[in-house]
Amino acid sequence: MDVKNNIIKIKNSLPNNVTLVAVSKTKPIDLILDAYYAGQKIFGENKVQEMVDKYHQLPKDIQWHLIGHLQTNKVKYIAPFVDLIHAVDSLKLLKEINKQAQKNDRIIDVLIQFRIAEEETKFGLTKNEGFKLLDETINLNLKNVRIIGVMGMATYTINTNQIRQEFKTLKQYFDEIKKTYFNENNSINKTFKHISMGMSGDYEIAIEEGSSMVRIGSKIFGSR
Ligand SMILES: *Cc1c(COP(=O)(O)O)cnc(C)c1O
C-alpha cells in the first residue's frame, strides 16, 4: 500500500470543508507515520487501549479521534488527550466524559451517534432517543463536554440508493437538531457543525449528502 500517495489522492479529491479522519485501527506505527509525513494529522481508532498505545508512540500534534463504541469505565484513559469522540450514545457516557474532562481541565468534543442503518446493530440512537439525550444534556448544562455534531454508519450493501437514503436521514436529524437547539441560551450553539459519515466504500455518496467528516481506513492503509 502506498499510504503517502493514497493520502494525497484522497485529500485532493475532498471538498475543502470536509475533514479527513484516517482510520488507522489495527495498522502499525510505521504506516501511520507514512500518512503523518504526507500531511495527515487526524487519525481514528476504535479501541481505547490501542489508541493510548499509539498516542504515546507518535508525534504529539496528532489529533486522535475515537470512532468506536466507548465504555464508560474507559473514558479516563483517553480523557487527557482525545480530540473528538464520535460515538456517544448515552447520558451516562456523556456525564463520565464531562467528569473526566473536568479532571483534566479540558473541554472534550463529542458527536452523538445515530442508528441510520437498516441492518441490526447494537450501537447508535434512534431519532427519539437522540433528541431525548439532547434535552437531558442541555438541562444538565455540562460544562466540560461540547456536542459538535452527529455521526452515523450506513448499511454495508451494494445498494447505493439505500446508502444515500440513510445518509439523507442523518442529515435531516442534524438539521433538525440544529434548528431545535441552536440558541444562545444553551450549550449547543455555533459549534454544532459536524456530520461524521462516510467510509472507504461510501464516502463519495456521504459527501454528496452533506458529510463534513469522512472516516477512511482501508482505502488509505489497505484491507484489515
Ligand atoms: C473501521 C471504521 C471505519 C473505516 O472503515 P473503512 O471501510 O476501512 O474505511 C470508519 N468508521 C468506523 C466507525 C469504523 O469502525
Give residue-wise pLDDT tens across range 125-147: 999 999 999 999 988 989 999 99
d(CA 166, CA 22): 22
For the segment 54-60, the average pLDDT, to the nearest whole number, is 98
Q: What is the pLDDT of residue 191?
A: 86
Kindly provide the b/e burial profile for residues 31-53, where b requires at least 16 CB atoms within 10 angstroms of the residue's own CB.
bbebbbebebebbbbbbbeebbe
CA angle, corner 15, sides to 38 and 33, nearest 5?
15
pLDDT at 206: 98
**How many angstroms separate the alpha carbon of residue 110 from the centre of ligand 1?**
17
Tell me the average pLDDT across 2-23.
97
Rounded Cα gap, residues 90 and 68, in angstroms: 14
1, three cell numbers: 500500500
Position 106, amino acid: R
Q: Is the pLDDT of residue 188 over 60?
A: no
Give pLDDT, residue 90: 96
Question: Does residue 54 register a pLDDT over 80?
Answer: yes
Q: Is the pLDDT of residue 30 over 80?
A: yes
Give the model's confidence band at 148: pLDDT under 50 very low, under 70 low, under 90 confident, else very high: very high
Within 6 A (CB) of ligand 1 lie 23, 25, 46, 67-68, 153, 199-201, 215-219
Separation of 199 CA from ligand 1 center, angstroms?
6
Ligand 1: residue whose CA is nearest its atom 6 = 217
* Whole-prediction pTM: 0.96
